[in-house]
Amino acid sequence: MQLGRHISGQFNVELESIRTHVLAMGGLVEEQISLALHALYKHDSQLASKVNRNDHKVNQMEMAIDEACTRIIAKRQPTAKDLRLIMAIIKTITDLERIGDVATKIGYVAQEQFSPKQESMIVLVESFGRMAVHMLHQVLDAFARMDVQAAAKVYHMDDELDAEYKKVLRQMMDFMMEEPSSVPKIMQIVSCAQAIERVGDRCQNICEYIIYFVKGKDVRHDPEYLQSLLDE
């Protein structure tokens, strides 16, 4: 009994440690995106290259957490809610790593030169990017508290992000039509906007994993259930 308690106590310590690492990884990814947007906005190519150099830290964190999850499954043979937590974490870190790649993408574009007129499109993307950072911040907060209702709320924030993306894209297309010689440059900014739009999709994935962990229900492709959570 004492041993059982000891093992389970140790198991909880290990699980908690993994969860802490996920939150640290999320914090780093959020910082990376935020710094990349700042570098883009301020034409700070030094900051941009620092962001790109730091991407390996995100990658290493993903690999370390993945390994810790596999180890804990093999050693502790978790079931039920403990196993769901590990599954949710394994999937969450994949999405976080890909969000980290978005920072790198923005970092590269931040090192390019743009004309003053083209800069107006950068301003648009930067403000769009801030919306995505906010969404990421909220989903990490929901993850830290494993809060289903918060997750459902963040999930629906993606509608605003999508609407804003359409507006931003429309303005970039107008720009390219008015000034066709800018097409290659604007296309670089478009690629940042697209990557930011996908950050929203990845945040939605993380919301689904939070709900899966807490409710034991796989809510992917189940918009009605997700809507019902908002009214709970």
Q: Which residues bind its own copies (CB under 8 A)?
A: 56, 59, 62-63, 66-67, 70, 73-74, 77-80, 83-84, 87, 90-91, 94, 169, 173, 176-178, 180-181, 183-184, 187, 190-191, 194, 218, 220-221
Nearer to its own copies, 49 or 205 (CB): 205
Nearer to its own copies, 78 or 137 (CB): 78
Q: CA–CA separation, 45 vs 36, rounded Å?
A: 10
DSSP-derived secondary structure letter, 182: G
Nearer to its own copies, 94 or 138 (CB): 94
Residue 212's CB is within 10 A of a number of other CB atoms, namely: 19
Distance of closest approach, residue 63 Cβ to its own copies, in angstroms: 5
Distance of closest approach, residue 70 Cβ to its own copies, in angstroms: 6
Distance of closest approach, residue 208 Cβ to its own copies, in angstroms: 11
Q: CA–CA separation, 203 vs 215, rounded Å?
A: 18
Select from 55, 160, 165, 168 the least CA-distant residue to 106: 55
Select from 93, 54, 82, 38 the least CA-distant residue to 205: 93
Distance of closest approach, residue 49 Cβ to its own copies, in angstroms: 18
Nearer to its own copies, 7 or 173 (CB): 173
The backbone region for 200, taken as left when phi is positive above 0, alpha when psi lies in -120 to 50, beta otherwise, is alpha
Nearer to its own copies, 88 or 229 (CB): 88
Nearer to its own copies, 42 or 71 (CB): 71
Nearer to its own copies, 89 or 140 (CB): 89
Distance of closest approach, residue 62 Cβ to its own copies, in angstroms: 8
Q: CA–CA separation, 93 vs 153, rounded Å?
A: 21
Distance of closest approach, residue 124 Cβ to its own copies, in angstroms: 16
Distance of closest approach, residue 188 Cβ to its own copies, in angstroms: 11
Q: CA–CA separation, 224 vs 62, rounded Å?
A: 32
Q: CA–CA separation, 21 vs 19, rounded Å?
A: 5
Q: CA–CA separation, 143 vs 134, rounded Å?
A: 14
Select from 192, 32, 29, 54 the least CA-distant residue to 110: 192
